[in-house]
Amino acid sequence: MRALIQVVDQAEVTVDSMAVGSCGAGLCIFVGVVPTDTEGVADRLWHKISHLRIFADGQGKTNLSVHDVKGSVLLVSQFTLCADVSRGMRPSFTGAAKPDLARRLFDHLVDEARRDLGEDRVGEGVFGAHMKVSLTNNGPFTIWLDTETL
């Protein structure tokens, strides 16, 4: 799995001009799934994300996790994180998982986040939909995670 994690003041996803998911101060997480991913991989990814010390403490040092700051998260499925641009100018998405696997693992990740943080602190986009995401990146602070390197 791949995740692009942004520390945000707020984030919101809309589909057809209707808000479908949002979060306040915390993390906006874009997630891509590859064919070899499993529930165990999703669990490992969530554990890593939720314990990353990427929020500032009282001295301005990045020592706090989303748990420590009681932050919220917005999870957005994004198969384009699996793009291969090594040949030519048009991205190939053959490295992305098929929709049924990707949906199941994305939903599993959302469920893990909700079990960990609570229902009210986790928002999500609509899998497979054309979404518009607006956010206020704080920092900016952006992290790229790939479970193949964790």
Q: Which of 80, 136, 141, 147 is catalytic?
A: 80
| Catalytic residue list contains 79 | yes
Q: Given 6, 55, 78, 106, which residue is catalytic?
A: 78
Catalytic residue among 30, 55, 79, 106: 79
DSSP output for the chain: -EEEEEEEEEEEEEETTEEEEEESSEEEEEEE--TT--HHHHHHHHHHHHH---EE-TTS-EEE-TTTTT-EEEEEE-GGGG-B-SSSSS-B-TTSPPHHHHHHHHHHHHHHHHHHH-GGGEEE--TTS--EEEEEEEEEEEEEEEGGG-
Tell me the catalytic residues.
78-80
